[in-house]
Structures are given as C-alpha cells and as structure tokens.
Amino acid sequence: MSSYFIRRLALVIPTLLGILALNFFVIQTAPGGPVDQFLARMSGDSPELMDRINGGTDDGVGTVSLEESGAGTGSSYRGISPELVRDVEKMYGFDKPMWQRFVDMLWRYIRFDFGDSFFKGRSVTELLADSLPVSMSLGIWSTLIIYLVSIPLGIKKAVHNGSRFDALTGLAVVIGNAVPVFLFAIVLVVLFAGGSYFKWFPLRGLVSPGFEQMSTWGQLRDYVSHLILPISAMVIGGFATLTMLTKNSFLDEIGKLYVTAAKAKGLTKNRVLYGHVFRNAMLIVISGFPAAFVHMFFTGSLLIEVIFSLNGIGLLGFEAAMQRDYPVMFATLYIFTLIGLVTKLISDMTYMFIDPRISFEKQGGSNV
C-alpha cells in the first residue's frame, strides 16, 4: 500500500501541472481580458486611472495584449494612445511572453504566493482567507449531513424495498431531486428569514457583527444560526442522488449468491447486511465522495452564497471569471484542483480500508 500511495502522490504533481497549463493558455488567449475591460471603462485620461497605471504592480499573471487578441487599439478604443496601452499592459503584467507568465505563476504557486487581485485592491491570499471559512463551513457540514442521512436512509429503503416506508421516502427523494437547490433556499428565506412569515434566522453573513465580543456559547449559537438555512437548502437538494445510489447498490448486493449462502449458514440478517453486504455496497458510494465534496465545496454552494449573502470561494471565483480577474481565477482553480486530487487519493485509501481484498498495486496505480 505504501508504494502505491507514493506513486499516486507523485502523479498529483504532473496532473495538477497539466490542468493549470491547459486552463492558463485557454483563458489567456480568450478575448475580453482585464486590459480590454480596463481600457473600455476609461473615459479620457482620468487622473485616478493614470495613478493606478503609474502605481501598478507587475504580478506576472495577465492576459493577451490587444494586438494578440485581435482587438486593435485604434478601432476599439479611440483616443487612447499606444503608449497608454503599453502602460496598462505593464500594469497587468502581460508585457512578458505568455510562457514566462506561466512559469512565473508556477514558481509563485509553489510557494503559495498568489499575487494581487486586478480589481479588488487586495492580495489573493487575503481574499481566499476571508472566503475559505464560508466555503469550508458550507461544504464540510452539508456533505457530512448528507452522508449521515442518505446512507442509513438508502440502506433502510433497500431492506424494506417495496414497502410503504420505501414509497413515502421515495416521494421525498423525487421531490428533492426535482426541485432546484436555489428554489429551496428562496422558500426557506421567505418562511424563516424575515421574508414574509417568521424571522427566526439571520440572512446575511457567516457571523453577526460583534462576534468577537460574544461568549463561547454565544459564538457557537450565532455561527449555527447563520448556517442552518443555507445548509438545510444544500442538504435537501443533495441527499436524493446519494440515497438512491445507496439503495440501488445494496439491492444489487443483496441479490447476489454469497448473500444467499450466508443466510443458509444461519447468519443473522444484521450480520449478513453489515458484515458482508455493507463493505461491498459502499464501494460505489465512496467512489463518488471526492466529486460530491468538491461540488458542495464550490459549484454547489455558489447560488447559496448569493442568496444568503455569503462571501465564499464559489462567489469569489464566479466574480473573478466575470471580471477576468486572472490571479483570483487561477488561484481558486489551483486550490480546488489540489483539493480534488487529494480527496480522490483519500477515497482510494478508504477503498482498501473498507475492503482489504482490493489491491490497486496489481492495477499499476495509474488512475488519479
């Protein structure tokens, strides 16, 4: 197992490098980069804009120039001199060749130095530090609750397949799968966050103003009260798929011959279910954990962050993509790719823990 773990850990580096390289060159060659947007917003030689240009820093990560993207200065931005365009290019750091910008970015990322945001006037590290607690809270708690609810529910539905319990819970699963997460979130806001009925829970932020001055119990209560509604919306929208996956996986294993043989030997129902069926049926559930975690951590929480005014990494990355804020875009890509690769590795290690018969050594450990 140790040699397989070392090989897989070594494969994380080229995989991460390949993903960053592909996204870097695709995004850098796309039109509408930060310089295009900056020049489009300019109206004459504004002193404020000139101060930004003269005081700009070279972050080493930028976009293609207007000449490279085909957006000619004379035709697209009248009244802006070539000298000013070159100053703006230097301010955003893409006066350098693209390959050099990529190498500079990799060298900084090795040291976890993500540079400064183009448009927010802060370092990317500070922005990530402010946003990470929100996304961590939403992703970890919602994923944990979804697994704690869906796995036992799926097992019970499989054991009582075709019963009234299975039919009633199946209706709840269908509704949870059909209704979008953001709609659940809006309903919860209307009902419980002062929308039209009750004002039981706060609507904005992860904590209330004056959080630092609260007692330990007060901080815990305030933190939980801010998370109840967004996490409830994510859990309601996310438990359906995992519940049905668990049920179908257990039904498939229950119908196999080794289960019949175990029952014929006189083993109890629970011994067969949790001693034999469980570890085999849970493999497919565990295989989906990395994707589910990353989805909840980033894409799954974007609309929730917008509705509940939570400044998480999902919202930060979305705003960066809209503004072509490349340092923030590539930093979030780097963080989430790294998280995804590490959780995939942990998933494979969990495979072998649950079922020691599995050996990735024989397969060469080529899958990342």
Give the H/E segment covering residue 160: none
105-108: long-range contacts (C-beta < 8 A, 24 or more apart)? 105/20, 105/24, 105/60, 105/61, 105/330, 106/17, 106/20, 108/60
List phi, psi (to 5°) of 193: -120, 30
Residue where the block lists tokens 């700009």: 56
d(CA 239, CA 245): 10
Q: Which CATH number fits domain 125-323: 1.10.3720.10, 3.40.50.150, 3.30.70.20, 3.30.413.10?
A: 1.10.3720.10
What are the start-end ranges of the E strands in the chain? none
What is the C-alpha separation between 66 and 99, in angstroms, rounded? 17
Comparing CA positions, the residue from 46, 22, 37, 235 lying closest to residue 141 is 235
Mean pLDDT, each 10-residue run in order, the chain (368 residues): 74 86 82 69 49 44 38 45 70 76 86 83 86 82 86 88 87 82 84 77 80 84 87 82 86 83 80 79 72 64 80 82 84 82 76 63 49
| In the chain, where the domains are located | 2-118, 125-323
Cα–Cα distance for residue pair 271/23, rounded to 1 Å: 50
Contact 129, 313 (CB under 8 A): no
Global model pTM greater than 0.75? no
Which residues, in sequence order, are bridge partners of residue 193? 199
Q: What is the pLDDT of residue 46?
A: 44
